[in-house]
Amino acid sequence: MLVPFVIVAMNAVKSPAEYATGGPIKPPHGIDLHGIVDFWQRVDFGGKLLNSVVISGSVAVLAVVVSVLNAYALGIGRVRGRTWILVVFLVANTVPQEALVYPLYYLANQTGLYDTRLGVILVFTIIQGAFGTYLLSSTFVAFPPELLEAARIDGAGKLQTLLRIVVPVSRPTLGMLMVFFFIWTWNEFFLPLVLLISNENQTVTVALGVLQGQRMMDATMTSASALLGVIPAIAFFLVFQRTLTRGITAGAVK
């Protein structure tokens, strides 16, 4: 798993002449940052990075909120037709993005959200929220009824029960979902490519994909772009690794 990353990192700090002489496998003699600097300046990588952080972070938070509210109604509230509603959410997770492109493009144009970060945030919030709803609903079904009954006896309403009982107990699972939603949205390419056409609104993955096809792109700059594109996602994962671990291993009742 680490070998491709190491090869990309080695080639990112090579000069074009050194790459042409030694090839992609030979370790570099020194550190040449011209490829990284040229790529950063050419595509305005700082702006693309900000767009990806804003979109991925917003989707991660909003999708978790939507998932919690939906799952609370379906898993604990036990609304009518719960099974069929969950089937709809399950089917929504199986629909390929290629089938959604034209409807989303049409709706974005009609609502004035085309080529805006808000439009992409809303789209991915619904997509990720469908998966989160299906997952959390099955979790909330098995929520300890003793805690819910104790909250009712103490006079807590539905909203208070959600905020003070359900969310704190489910915090590890919600943290795990937030990490997944951030990384999944960060890695999205197809829908942002269609919905974000302006250079100032594009994300990191779109900038990398567009530059791959240009003839002026050399091997060292390609490696530099790949390295810069993956580092933020790895850093986010490492920062929240403990949250992810707690979410996977959580199972005790507080």
pTM exceeds 0.75 for this model: yes
Q: Is the pLDDT of residue 153 over 60?
A: yes
Q: Which of 63, 61, 89 is nearest to 75 (CA)?
A: 89
Give pLDDT, residue 145: 85
Q: Is the pLDDT of residue 161 over 80?
A: yes
In this structure, is residue 178 part of a structural domain?
Answer: yes
Cβ–Cβ < 8 Å for 45, 39: yes
Q: Which of 186, 170, 162, 196 is nearest to 236 (CA)?
A: 186
d(CA 64, CA 158) in angstroms, rounded, equals 18
Give pLDDT, residue 15: 85
Give pLDDT, residue 39: 82
Highest mean pLDDT among 22-31, 114-123, 228-237, 240-249: 114-123
Dump pLDDT digits (tens) for 45-57.
899 999 999 999 9
**Arithmetic mean of pLDDT, 24-51:** 87
In this structure, is residue 115 part of a structural domain?
Answer: yes
Q: Which of 99, 181, 205 is nearest to 196 (CA)?
A: 205
Task: State the residue range of the domain holding 236.
Answer: 50-206+232-249
In this structure, is residue 189 part of a structural domain?
Answer: yes
**Arithmetic mean of pLDDT, 3-13:** 90
Total number of domains in the chain: 1
In this structure, is residue 130 part of a structural domain?
Answer: yes
In this structure, is residue 11 part of a structural domain?
Answer: no
In this structure, is residue 105 part of a structural domain?
Answer: yes
d(CA 210, CA 239) in angstroms, rounded, equals 29
In this structure, is residue 82 part of a structural domain?
Answer: yes
CATH number, residue 148: 1.10.3720.10
Q: Is the pLDDT of residue 23 over 90?
A: no
In this structure, is residue 153 part of a structural domain?
Answer: yes
**Arithmetic mean of pLDDT, 192-221:** 79
